Amino acid sequence: MLQTALKEATTSYHSKLEQLMYVDEIINSTLTLQQYKQLLTTNYLVYASCENFLFNSLSSELAGKLNIKKRNKINALIADIDELKMMIPEKKNTDHQLIIPENDAAILGALYVLEGATLGGNVIEKKLSNNIGITYLNLNFHYYQVYGSSLITYWKEFCEVLNQQPLETHAISIDAAKKMFEYIIYVQQETRCALL
């Protein structure tokens, strides 16, 4: 199954990204407001740079199966940014670009990373609610609970489509997933440096 192959091929990327995205601080309830703002900034910059491209590059058949327009996350991020009265982050000119081929196999590989993050967001949202550095703000965490009660349904639908992909396209999906992880890692490192 492609889902299993993607998980195994990207384990090290996933671990590195978790460290950079303050997962330990979130779980230990020590995340600061500044760190939370940085997470929103990184996620906004990532989705602003690729969400429309990924959605529009997917074949109409798969876009329909995935109900792709309901998987929009940029609006939830904007709601979180507005709630904190932050400025909408501006994308900096950079040599590091996310280049994903315009074919279903590559798009699904990239979406695997984003959909997996959304699945994990449900756990993160519960933990964020206990972080003393931000609880007093009574935030809504729109991004981390973007699918609401449809989360598991959406994940199962995505995995079903993913696992129907032919074996000869798996390497393309895996390569795109790695590129997506690398891009998010790059954006998070740049955002962290900018806030130090």
- Flag whether pLDDT at 92 surpasses 80: no
From 191, 190, 158, select the one nearest 177 (Cα to Cα).
Answer: 158
pLDDT tens for 108-155 read 999 999 999 999 998 899 999 889 889 999 999 999 999 999 999 999
pLDDT of residue 179: 97
List the end-to-end C-alpha distance of the chain, in Å, as a whole number. 42
Residue 94: band (very low, low, confident or very high) from pLDDT cuts 50, 70, 90: low
Which domain, by its residues, includes 178?
Answer: 2-195
pLDDT of residue 193: 74
Cα 40 to Cα 32, 55, 80, distances in angstroms: 13, 21, 8
pLDDT tens for 40-88 read 999 999 999 999 999 999 999 999 999 999 999 999 999 999 999 999 9
Instruction: Share the mean pLDDT of the chain.
Output: 94
Q: Taking residues 85-107, report their average pLDDT.
A: 86
The domain that contains 14 carries what CATH number?
A: 1.20.910.10
Residue 194: band (very low, low, confident or very high) from pLDDT cuts 50, 70, 90: low
From 86, 41, 63, select the one nearest 192 (Cα to Cα).
Answer: 41
Number of domains in the chain: 1
Instruction: Give the integer Cα–Cα distance in Å for 12 and 178.
Output: 10
- Tokens 């929103």, located at residue: 40
77-97: buried (b, 16+ CB within 10 Å) or exposed (e) per residue? bbebbeeeeeeebeeeeeeee
For the record, the structure tokens of 173 come out as 């999906």
